[in-house]
């Protein structure tokens, strides 16, 4: 079984594998290329993301700087906004739905290392070789999610549609749809309802109004 197949199977793999290192090097170079662009160089940025990510939906914008690990394992939906310092360590698959907004310094991680120090240093592979091994779990984020600044999403987490994750949260377990969740570790504070609408905040709404056709 190839190392990338092991990643998808959720079993131990060698991150130092030659083919995996080549994939990561290509992406790391593209990260640097992106981070050297100006935010109004839309065509250049779009071309870099198209060559790096598994999918990047129309109408999206990432402020930069960015740090993707593999890139090809990440799929991002339409109209995404990512603020400064977006980091996605996508050893395993990362999917992000449509209309998501991420504040600065959001980090998504998928790899997991052995807990015991001697096992982190080396383990024996099937052929008896001594290598550093880890495994990875995918992260799935639904549509219309807003992450505050410095949110960290840990391996294996699924976050449902329409969630708000408070600034500085460390998400270690699944969050159901329509939740406001925050904390370290992150926990559901309450379910979002019509009571959270801006129509109930006239002092902030001012002379604006909520669109009648929202769904």
Residue extents of the structural domains in the chain: 3-205
Kindly give the pairing relationship between strand 187-191 and strand 179-182.
antiparallel
- pLDDT per residue as tens digits for the range 10-21: 999 999 999 999
Mean pLDDT to the nearest integer, 76-103: 98
Is a pLDDT exceeding 70 seen at residue 215?
no
Confidence of residue 214 (pLDDT cuts 50, 70, 90): low
Catalytic residue among 28, 69, 113, 140: 113
- pLDDT per residue as tens digits for the range 112-134: 999 999 999 999 999 999 999 99
113 an active-site residue? yes
Task: Return phi, psi of residue 32, to 5°.
Answer: -60, -45
Q: d(Cα 110, Cα 56) in Å, to the nearest integer?
A: 19
Confidence of residue 212 (pLDDT cuts 50, 70, 90): confident
How many C-beta neighbours within 10 Å does residue 138 have? Answer: 19
Percent of the chain with pLDDT over 70: 99
Superfamily of domain 3-205: Hexapeptide repeat proteins (2.160.10.10)
CB 118 within 8 A of CB 137: no
Identify the DSSP state of 80: -
Both tokens of 58, joined, read 């129309």
Q: Whole-prediction pTM value?
A: 0.95
């Amino acid at each position: 079984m190839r190392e990338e197949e092991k990643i998808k199977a959720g079993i131990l793999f060698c991150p130092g594998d030659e083919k995996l290192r080549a994939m990561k090097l290509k992406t790391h170079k593209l990260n640097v290329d992106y981070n050297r662009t100006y935010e109004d160089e839309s065509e250049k940025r779009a071309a870099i993301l198209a060559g790096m990510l598994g999918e990047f939906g129309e109408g999206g914008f990432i402020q930069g700087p960015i740090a993707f690990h593999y890139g090809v394992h990440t799929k991002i939906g339409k109209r995404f906004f990512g603020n400064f310092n977006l980091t996605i360590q996508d050893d395993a698959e990362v999917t992000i739905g449509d209309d998501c907004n991420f504040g600065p310094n959001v980090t998504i991680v998928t790899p997991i290392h052995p807990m015991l120090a001697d096992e982190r240093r080396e383990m024996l592979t099937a052929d008896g070789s001594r290598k550093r091994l880890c495994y990875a779990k995918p992260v799935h984020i639904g549509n219309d999610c807003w992450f505050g600044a410095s949110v960290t999403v840990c391996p294996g987490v699924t976050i449902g549609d329409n969630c708000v994750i408070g600034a500085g949260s460390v998400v270690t377990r699944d969050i159901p749809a329509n939740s406001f969740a925050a904390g370290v570790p992150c926990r559901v504070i309450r379910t979002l309802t019509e009571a959270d609408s801006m129509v109930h905040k006239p002092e902030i709404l001012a002379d604006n109004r909520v669109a009648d056709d929202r769904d």
